[in-house]
Every structure is written in structure tokens, then in C-alpha cells.
Chains A and B, each alone.
Chain A
Amino acid sequence: DQQVKQNSPSLSVQEGRISILNCDYTNSMFDYFLWYKKYPAEGPTFLISISSIKDKNEDGRFTVFLNKSAKHLSLHIVPSQPGDSAVYFCAASERTYKYIFGTGTRLKVLA
């Protein structure tokens, strides 16, 4: 049972435009959500997080939105840059340090 789903395996966006990566979850007890970026041959790098008590969190070009009623979160990257090309993972946990990860979305930013 995949509790965290990233239904788009890949996404292509023009440089300078907005990238929107989506993530759906099924467990309503998840209370903390993370986004990671991963380059080949490297470990995932933490980008941004959000607690279930919030619906938005911003950090520079990255904004995460959480819609608890829809069990949906999204990561917005504005403006997108070629260096953002990577695989993005969302993750969620239920008050523990056990995180459930999605299968990832490969973002390609076209110059």
C-alpha cells in the first residue's frame, strides 16, 4: 500500500517558468512533510518542510503548499533554473522518525 504517491514520473519546464511537483498521501495521521532533491550518484538533499498545522511554507524560490482535506501537497519552484533538474521526492511521517517516501518525479528544466 503506497501511502505517499507521486503520480507524475517526469516533468519538463522551460527555464524561468514555474515548476509544480505534486504529491498525494492517504494517511490522515501524517503531520510532517518534507521535499528532497536528488542528483545522480548523490544522496537526497533536504529542500523544504511543512507541518500539518500550516498550509504554506516558503524558502526562497521554493514554496510548499499543503491541502489537508485533499491529502495533497505540492512544491512550487519559481523561477525554475537548469540546475533544478533532478529527481524530487516528497516524504511524510506520523509523529516518528520513520518517513514514507514517494517514488519521485524527474524534473527537467530546459534552457
Chain B
Amino acid sequence: KAGVTQTPRYLIKTRGQQVTLSCSPISGHRSVSWYQQTPGQGLQFLFEYFSETQRNKGNFPGRFSGRQFSNSRSEMNVSTLELGDSALYLCASSAGTGVRLGTNSPLHFGNGTRLTVT
């Protein structure tokens, strides 16, 4: 089974521009999450989608948005880029469905998109 695929792997953008990152989850997985990783900050949760609906959202400004398509593929958009947005953006999928009760399917991550804002 193919893993989580993220494109592109690397991006260089200029301050003020916008960017769209893409994620294809593991086949059959309907939950897709996005995380930002920066040095010293670990992984920060951005948002989670299930069946085209955003179920959970982290503490990021409105410049960060996402969506999920009917085939579970997801995109993340960052508008008006700032230097501080430079980070590794990770997408993860899960086989979980409804409200998570106790144990459930863990997150499976892609290799990320490295965004550099200059």
C-alpha cells in the first residue's frame, strides 16, 4: 500500500506570496491532518479534515487554510507569506472514522514539504 504522498518536496517563495501544498493520503484513509515543524517547536497542529469537513483546528492565523476533496486528497494554502512561515509542513492520514474512542488508528506521515520564505 502506498504511503502518504506530499508534493512538492521543496518550495522557495518570497514574502507576500501565497503557496499551496498537496497531500494524498493512504488509500482508504479519510482523516487528513496537517502539522508545521520548526526547529525547537516540535510539530504544531494546523488542522484536520474528515470527509471534506474540517473537524479540528489549531492556533494558527487565518492565513493558513486547507481543504479536502471527495477522494480524501487534501491541500493546504498559506497566503501572504511571512519569513516565519519557513518550516517543514507535514501531512498525516489516519484510518480512524468518527469520534476517536480510546485506541484508534495512529497518524501516518508523509515526508513533508520544506517551505523556505525569503
Contact = CB atoms under 8 A, between A and B. Distances in A.
Given A43-B110, A43-B111, A49-B106, A96 B100 contact: yes
Given A43-B111, A98-B56, 10 more contacts: A34-B106, A46-B107, A51-B103, A89-B42, A97-B96, A97-B107, A98-B58, A99-B107, A101-B35, A101-B45
B87 to A, nearest CB: 14
A45 interface: yes
Interface of B: 4, 6, 31, 33, 35, 40-45, 48, 50, 55-56, 58, 90, 92, 94, 96, 99-104, 106-112
24 contacts: A32-B102, A41-B111, A43-B92, A43-B112, A44-B90, A49-B106, A51-B102, A51-B103, A52-B102, A95-B100, A96-B55, A96-B99, A96-B100, A97-B31, A97-B55, A97-B56, A97-B94, A97-B107, A98-B33, A98-B56, A99-B107, A101-B44, A101-B45, A104-B42
A49 B94 CA distance: 14
B109 A45 contact: yes
Give 9 nearest A-B pairs by CB, closest first: A43-B109, A103-B42, A101-B43, A98-B56, A51-B103, A43-B111, A46-B106, A101-B42, A44-B109
